[in-house]
Structure 1
Amino acid sequence: MDESKKQTVSAIPSVDTMPKVTGIGGIFFISDNPKETKEWYAKNLGLDINAWGSASFESRNVNKPEEVNSLQWKPFKKGDDYFAPSKKEFMINYQVQNIEALVAKLKENGVTILDEIASYDYGKFVHIMDSEGNKIELWEPKL
């Protein structure tokens, strides 16, 4: 292969579509009084609580500076069904890519998948359980 063809081939950006976690999408935890907890964080730490009852933290992807990522922070009332069947007081939302292939891989690995992939205007979601009984939310943002 001559040099000009090598340069053309190497200049083509590769697109990573491997099914995997790409970041943290949210941190959710149980609170005895979510309203008071949100008010405390707003008053003392300056969190801006949005219409969904969470705070959003935005950042840029270092490898794709035009891409803005969002991490959600939200306390939930003790006993909230959103954490079931986990008995833990926290849940992490992981941002992922290629959620369909990731779920297929997880099924092959015997991971408990709690629901079907659900699509919304802001992305796709599915819930799984890890080996310690922690419910995990996987989110593929809509780009």
Structure 2
Amino acid sequence: MAKVIGVGGVFLACRDADATKAWYVRVLGLEVNDFGGFHFTHSHSAEAFGEGARTIFAPFGSAEYFAPSTLPFMLNLMVDDLDGILARAAAEGVEEVQPRQDYEYGRFGWIMDPDGRKLELWEPPRG
């Protein structure tokens, strides 16, 4: 049976796309690819996190979890060093919007991007 096997991309409308790209480079350490966006190879996340590396696709019954954003979605970005990313974000004046949380399935922190999107930063467990 034919089925979806992954997320091929996420495309965002931005007030100022160049400024948003620059923010993602400066605050989150992403590198712009040849097409003007960012890409993540599955092999890199699998190398770092083994079976813990995965993409979650989950409909929510309410957007309360996405607050303080008023948008009807949130981005969850897998990171290799949550504390390091959040320290760099703080140095850039980006505040965490809720306390960090640790679970058996990983560590989480939350910030907002320049366009008001809530970003859930997820460091999966190693191994």
Q: Which residue of 1 aligns with 2:59?
A: 75
Using the aligned pairs only, state the percent identity.
32
Unaligned runs of 5+ in 1: 1-18, 22-58
Alpha-carbon offset, residue 74 of structure 1: 0.8
Unaligned runs of 5+ in 2: 1-27, 31-40
Q: Partner letter of residue 97 of structure 1?
A: D
| Residue correspondence of structure 1 range 120-131 to structure 2 within 5 A | 120-131=103-114
Matches of 1:136 and 1:129 in 2, distance apart? 6
Q: Which residue of 2 aligns with 1:61?
A: 43
Provide the TM-score with structure 2 as the length reference. 0.60
User: Greater helix share, 1 or 2?
Assistant: 2
User: Greater strand share, 1 or 2?
Assistant: 1
Pair 1:124–1:20, CA change in 2 (3 A): farther
Regions of 4+ moved over 4 Å = none
- RMSD of Structure 2 on Structure 1 (CA): 2.5
Pair 1:64–1:132, CA change in 2 (3 A): same
| Residue correspondence of structure 1 range 1-143 to structure 2 within 5 A | 20=29, 61=43, 64=47, 67-68=50-51, 69-78=53-62, 80-143=63-126
Alpha-carbon offset, residue 119 of structure 1: 0.6
Q: For the pair shown, which has the larger CA radius of gyration, 1 or 2?
A: 1
C-alpha deviations, 1:28-78, integer Å up to 9, x for none?
xxxxxxxxxxxxxxxxxxxxxxxxxxxxxxx95257398232111111124
Alpha-carbon offset, residue 84 of structure 1: 0.6
Provide the TM-score with structure 1 as the length reference. 0.53
Secondary structure at the counterpart of residue 110 of structure 2: strand
